[in-house]
Amino acid sequence: MMTTSSRKLQETYNQQGYLSALPVLNENELGEARRAFSELEMELGTEYTQYSLHNVHQQYPWVLDLTKHPRVLHVVKAVLGPDVILLDSRFICKYPALKPEEKDGEAKPDVGDGLPYVAWHQDMRYWGIAGGPVLSVWLALDDSVEENGALQVIPGSHHSGMLPHRQASRPGNMLSVNQEIPEELVQVEEAVLCPLLAGQMSVHDGLLIHASDANISQRRRCGFVIRYVPTCAYPVQDPDRPRKFHATMLACGTDQFNHFSSKST
């Protein structure tokens, strides 16, 4: 039975398409996750860990534990229901544009000079999913604020359906297919910044319009993105961008549909 707190989460999410600043990791859990991620940075290099740690919940138990954290799943179940599949995961890091040794008096880089950013987009444009919503989690390993490129959303935009996307003209777009929603279709004046403290998360609907600017600070901005779908959802074929879902697994509940190729618990 849904509790009052779960019902409130669901109502707010359905209305605005996102929730933000939700507490997840305690101090010890955060410290362990940051230490583990630092080991990956040292082993693989920051150029790789910026965007290429894709579906490593299959490889590292500490990452899998994050995807099944009780505070994460409490919110996910409140929105999607009790039967949920973990669809995909990825670490996304925006590293500092200014090195710590650079002088305070030096001019900050301009956000249009090719620094990594994420253009206005909708996740469902890329996922090839039908039959149910996609919920995206951003779990912050670092504080995420305006200066280092925190998430921005257009509240309620998930009610507008899928919008056209085009190739982005500004260099530095971190989206793998370099697409964006034309800015004239985005009500930018309604954008809301979603700052997070390390250990907090935001969640948003797959149709919510969102973006994030470049990191123009001296602080890293690292987060863990997790995608969840209800078990009733299913993959659809997109000839322009074929996708295979080899990293899916049952996050909670039971799966009576078996729409995905791998759902080990």
Residues 6+ apart with CB under 8 A from 178: 167, 168
Q: End-to-end alpha-carbon separation of the chain, Å?
A: 23
Q: Are 192 and 52 in contact (CB under 8 A)?
A: no
Residue 242: pLDDT band (50, 70, 90) is low
**pLDDT at 178 exceeding the cut of 60:** yes
Residues 6+ apart with CB under 8 A from 98: 106, 108, 109, 216, 217, 218
* Fold assignment, 4-252: Jelly Rolls (2.60.120)
* pLDDT tens profile 128-168: 899 999 999 999 999 999 999 999 999 999 999 999 999 88
Residues 6+ apart with CB under 8 A from 110: none
Radius of gyration of the chain from its Cα atoms, rounded to whole angstroms: 18
**pLDDT at 264 exceeding the cut of 60:** no
Q: Are 182 and 164 in contact (CB under 8 A)?
A: yes
**pLDDT at 103 exceeding the cut of 50:** no
52: three-class secondary structure by DSSP: coil
Domain boundaries of the chain, sorted by first residue: 4-252
Cα–Cα distance measured from residue 227 to residue 67, given in angstroms and rounded to the nearest whole number: 9
* pLDDT tens profile 4-24: 789 999 999 999 999 999 999
**pLDDT at 32 exceeding the cut of 80:** yes
What tokens does 209 get? Answer: 């319009």
How far CA 72 is from CA of 156, 177, 188, in Å, comes to: 22, 28, 29
* pLDDT tens profile 36-57: 999 999 999 999 999 999 999 9
Cα–Cα distance measured from residue 133 to residue 135, given in angstroms and rounded to the nearest whole number: 6
Cα–Cα distance measured from residue 265 to residue 256, given in angstroms and rounded to the nearest whole number: 14
Phi then psi for 235, rounded to 5 degrees?
Answer: -75, 145
Pairing of strands 129-130, 210-212: unpaired
Q: How confident is the model at residue 113, as a pLDDT?
A: 63
Work out the average pLDDT over 177-182. 87
Of 253 and 245, more confident:
253
Q: How confident is the model at residue 265, as a pLDDT?
A: 46
